[in-house]
């Protein structure tokens, strides 16, 4: 072979190597083989997903409506959804059939997606803002469960497996979520469709069957979870007893308790007396008689000014920034807007009850035992009786609770039959209780309320998929000694490398 020929051969060989390397990388991506080194197998199909797929009794069609070739940061979502569905399909033994369409290019698919409750979402896609499709619907018989937009990669598995579980569960065997009314609590069914409370009612209802009920003086119906939102008047003792007994029967309960509310006519806040403090104290929850305000971290509130409503940043619309990420419902929450909020903390815990704070204010928050003017500047004025923050705002408890009526005479209803002492339950089954210090929060933080109800319903199989969330654990605050050693190590180690180098070089030179 001539020199030129050998040169051409060498170049051709190099080009072939490059081409083969490219093909190799491409082929490596086909099987999506990966070794998950995380402690909790965070990026492997979870046990609950496998179990859900394997336990399917009827065929399920997974209709994927995804825009092809999305730009960053959504470029991995379609592949993540399809990978997960492929894993579920394999585990289901073929009971899941996956059908993929791109409604961006197919008008018929777009119509079908809308029929199944999936609408396009408006997002920046590369350099343009356009409508894209990122939804999945599961169909089984005449039942449909949709995930309208898969926008969070860490929650892909949770969202899809939850929808799959729902479509596979008959409607009449879904959990009943009670929404108590009768003491001034809002009824989500009475608000216009676009009102946040109506939307919340729908989203909470999607977790099970939402039952709005007013039991009068009678016992509560059989429930799987109970929500009490902002009672405005004192709960009579008989109602408190039934609330207590519902908890004793193991009904997990969420209380969103407003301690203060705005009185726009008077231009001040006014207190709300629900009289639940002594009851909650028995379970280990302490509600401080303080109104929290934060002059630094706050959100807008609609305020009447000059005959119209104006959105202004208001110190009483506190933005809480300290989240307990170890608590599952808080994992996806970055901040919580809590208007007219009261501190809720862990009090004297009865034996067998564990508690944790989910949300706290920033240290810039202060509490005041007196009502404040609504006008923002006057509300922000410094008062003498202020108590410095930070304050816990949400407390969650788990365990076996003692009844608040143990060793006390049972209240007698004004009308109807007295409570049968034989039916009194003195100690609860293992259950959960979560208390929020704001009622107005419910309208702003629908996702948090939904996650809380999800936590209350405590399907441990479903909750397990939350572990797929790509969230690292928190470090405990370092001691001054640890922080000092950390800094010393960072500065000192390069010096050690230099000294080692000097020693090696000088030895070699000798």
Partner 1 sequence: MPPVATVARRELLILFGQPVAWLALAGFVSLIGLLTLWKDDVLAGGVASMRGPFWWIASCLLLLAPAIAMRSIAEERRSGSLHLLATLPLTAVEIVVGKWAAAVVTLAVGLACTVPLAVALFALGPVDPGPVVGGYVGLLGLASALAAVGVAASAATESQVLAFLMALGVSAGPVVVGAALPLVAPEWVSTVAVLTFQFHVEHLARGVVDLRSMAFFLAVSLVGLRVAVLQIEHRRLAR
Does 477 help bind partner 1 (rule: CB under 8 A)? yes
DSSP 8-state symbol, 402:
B
Q: How far is CA 313 from CA 96, 291, 294, 299, 437, in A?
A: 50, 17, 11, 5, 20
Does 388 help bind partner 1 (rule: CB under 8 A)? no
Residue from 53, 56, 64, 70 touching partner 1 (CB under 8 A): that is 70
Q: How far is the CB of 297 from partner 1 (least distance, A)?
A: 18
Does 122 help bind partner 1 (rule: CB under 8 A)? no
Per-residue tokens: 92: 């289901």
Judging by DSSP bridges, how do beta strands 253-256 and 431-436 pair with one another? parallel
Does 481 help bind partner 1 (rule: CB under 8 A)? no
Per-residue tokens: 203: 């989203």
Q: How far is the CB of 69 from partner 1 (least distance, A)?
A: 4
* CB nearer partner 1, residue 265 or residue 510: 510
* CB nearer partner 1, residue 22 or residue 388: 22
Residues from 359 through 378 that contact partner 1 (CB under 8 A): none
Number of residues that bind partner 1 (CB under 8 A): 67
Does 495 help bind partner 1 (rule: CB under 8 A)? yes
Does 505 help bind partner 1 (rule: CB under 8 A)? yes
Does 105 help bind partner 1 (rule: CB under 8 A)? no
Residue from 57, 72, 192, 194 touching partner 1 (CB under 8 A): that is 72
Binding span for partner 1 by CB under 8 A among 246-254, 399-407, 417-425, 469-477: 469-477
Q: In angstroms, how far is CA 504 from the centroid of its own chain?
A: 56
* CB nearer partner 1, residue 37 or residue 107: 37
- Asked if the bond preceding 73 is cis, omega within 30° of 0, the reply is yes
d(CA 329, CA 155): 12
Q: How big is the CA angle at 38 (ends 35 and 40), to the nearest 5 degrees?
A: 115
Task: Determine contact, residues 241/419, Cβ cutoff 8 Å.
Answer: yes
Residues 6+ away with beta carbon under 8 Å from 471: 154, 325, 331
Q: Is 341 exposed, middle or buried (0-12, 13-18, 19+ CB in 10 A)?
A: buried
Q: How far is the CB of 150 from partner 1 (least distance, A)?
A: 16
Q: How far is the CB of 478 from partner 1 (least distance, A)?
A: 5
Give the number of residues written for the chain: 510
Binding span for partner 1 by CB under 8 A among 90-98, 122-130, 271-279, 378-386: 122-130
CB-side exposure of 310: number of CA atoms within 13 Å?
11
d(CA 359, CA 102): 41
Residue from 171, 173, 475, 510 touching partner 1 (CB under 8 A): that is 475
Closest CA to 259 of 377, 368, 395: 368
d(CA 243, CA 428): 12
* CB nearer partner 1, residue 309 or residue 484: 484
Would you tell me how many other CB atoms lie within 10 Å of the CB of residue 76? 13
* CB nearer partner 1, residue 174 or residue 335: 335
d(CA 199, CA 237): 32
Residue from 54, 58, 76, 381 touching partner 1 (CB under 8 A): that is 76
Residue from 108, 409, 490, 510 touching partner 1 (CB under 8 A): that is 490
Residues 6+ away with beta carbon under 8 Å from 162: 462, 465
Residue from 51, 102, 125, 458 touching partner 1 (CB under 8 A): that is 125
Does 311 help bind partner 1 (rule: CB under 8 A)? no
- Phi then psi for residue 212, to 5 deg, are -80, 125
Mask for 401-420, x = binds partner 1 (CB under 8 A): --------------------
Q: How far is CA 510 from CA 12, 104, 342, 498, 507, in A?
A: 49, 74, 75, 18, 5
Q: How far is the CB of 29 from partner 1 (least distance, A)?
A: 4
Does 486 help bind partner 1 (rule: CB under 8 A)? yes
Q: How far is the CB of 510 from partner 1 (least distance, A)?
A: 12
Binding span for partner 1 by CB under 8 A among 66-74, 135-143, 288-296, 447-455: 66-74
Task: Determine contact, residues 164/137, Cβ cutoff 8 Å.
Answer: no
Binding span for partner 1 by CB under 8 A among 29-37, 272-280, 285-293, 347-355: 29-37
d(CA 457, CA 225): 6
DSSP 8-state symbol, 41:
-
* CB nearer partner 1, residue 242 or residue 467: 467
- Phi then psi for residue 367, to 5 deg, are -120, 150
Binding span for partner 1 by CB under 8 A among 302-310, 328-336, 399-407, 470-478: 470-478
Q: How far is the CB of 71 from partner 1 (least distance, A)?
A: 5
Q: How far is the CB of 151 from partner 1 (least distance, A)?
A: 16
Does 121 help bind partner 1 (rule: CB under 8 A)? no
Binding span for partner 1 by CB under 8 A among 35-43, 185-193, 220-228, 457-465: 35-43
d(CA 510, CA 502): 12
DSSP 8-state symbol, 467:
G
Does 10 help bind partner 1 (rule: CB under 8 A)? yes
Per CB under 8 A, residues contacting partner 1 are 3, 6-7, 10-11, 13-14, 17-18, 21-22, 24-25, 27-29, 31-40, 42-43, 68-73, 75-76, 79, 125-127, 470, 472-478, 482-483, 485-487, 489-491, 493-495, 497-498, 500-502, 504-505, 508
């Amino acid at each position: 072979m001539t020199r030129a020929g050998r040169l051409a051969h060498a170049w051709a060989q190099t080009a072939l190597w490059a081409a083969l390397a490219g093909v190799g990388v491409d082929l490596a991506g086909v099987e999506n083989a990966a070794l998950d080194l995380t402690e909790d197998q965070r990026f492997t199909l979870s046990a609950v997903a496998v179990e859900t797929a394997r336990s399917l009794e009827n065929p399920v069609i997974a209709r994927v409506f995804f825009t092809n070739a999305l730009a960053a940061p959504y470029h991995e979502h379609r592949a993540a959804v399809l990978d997960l569905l492929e894993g579920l399909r394999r585990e289901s033994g073929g009971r899941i059939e996956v059908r993929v369409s791109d409604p961006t290019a197919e008008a018929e698919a777009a119509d079908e997606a809308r029929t199944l409750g999936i609408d396009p979402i408006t997002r920046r896609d590369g350099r343009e803002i356009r409508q894209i499709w990122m939804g999945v619907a599961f169909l089984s018989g005449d039942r449909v469960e949709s995930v309208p937009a898969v926008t969070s990669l860490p929650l892909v598995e949770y969202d899809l497996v939850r929808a799959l579980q729902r479509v596979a569960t008959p409607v009449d065997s879904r959990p009943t979520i009670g929404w108590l009314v009768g003491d001034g609590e809002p009824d989500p069914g009475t608000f216009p469709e676009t009102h946040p409370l109506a939307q919340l009612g729908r989203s909470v209802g999607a977790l099970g069957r939402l039952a709005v009920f007013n039991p009068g003086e009678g016992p509560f119906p059989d429930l799987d979870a109970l929500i009490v939102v902002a009672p405005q008047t004192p709960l009579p003792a008989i109602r408190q007893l039934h609330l207590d007994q519902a908890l004793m029967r193991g009904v997990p309960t969420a209380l969103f308790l407003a301690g203060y509310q705005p009185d726009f006519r008077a231009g001040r806040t006014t207190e709300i007396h629900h009289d639940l403090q002594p009851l909650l104290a028995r379970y280990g929850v302490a509600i401080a008689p303080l109104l929290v305000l934060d002059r630094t971290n706050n959100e807008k509130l609609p305020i009447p000014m000059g005959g119209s409503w104006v959105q202004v940043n208001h110190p009483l619309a506190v933005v809480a920034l300290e989240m307990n990420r170890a608590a599952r419902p808080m994992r996806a929450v970055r901040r919580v807007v809590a208007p007219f909020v009261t501190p809720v903390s862990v009090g004297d815990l009865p034996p067998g009850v564990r508690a944790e704070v989910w949300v706290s204010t920033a240290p810039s928050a202060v509490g005041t035992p007196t009502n404040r003017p609504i006008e923002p500047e006057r509300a922000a004025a410094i008062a003498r009786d202020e108590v410095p923050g930070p304050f816990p705002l949400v407390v969650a408890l788990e365990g076996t609770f003692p009844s608040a009526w143990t060793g006390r005479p049972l209240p007698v209803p004004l009308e109807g039959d007295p409570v049968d002492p034989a039916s009194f339950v003195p100690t609860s089954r293992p259950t959960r209780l979560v208390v929020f210090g704001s009622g107005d929060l419910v309208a702003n933080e629908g996702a948090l309320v939904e996650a809380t109800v999800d936590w209350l319903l405590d399907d441990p199989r479903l909750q397990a998929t939350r572990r797929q969330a790509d969230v690292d654990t928190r470090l405990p605050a370092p001691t001054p000694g640890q922080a000092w050693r950390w800094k010393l190590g960072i500065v000192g180690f390069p010096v050690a490398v230099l000294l080692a180098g000097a020693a090696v070089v000088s030895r070699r030179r000798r």
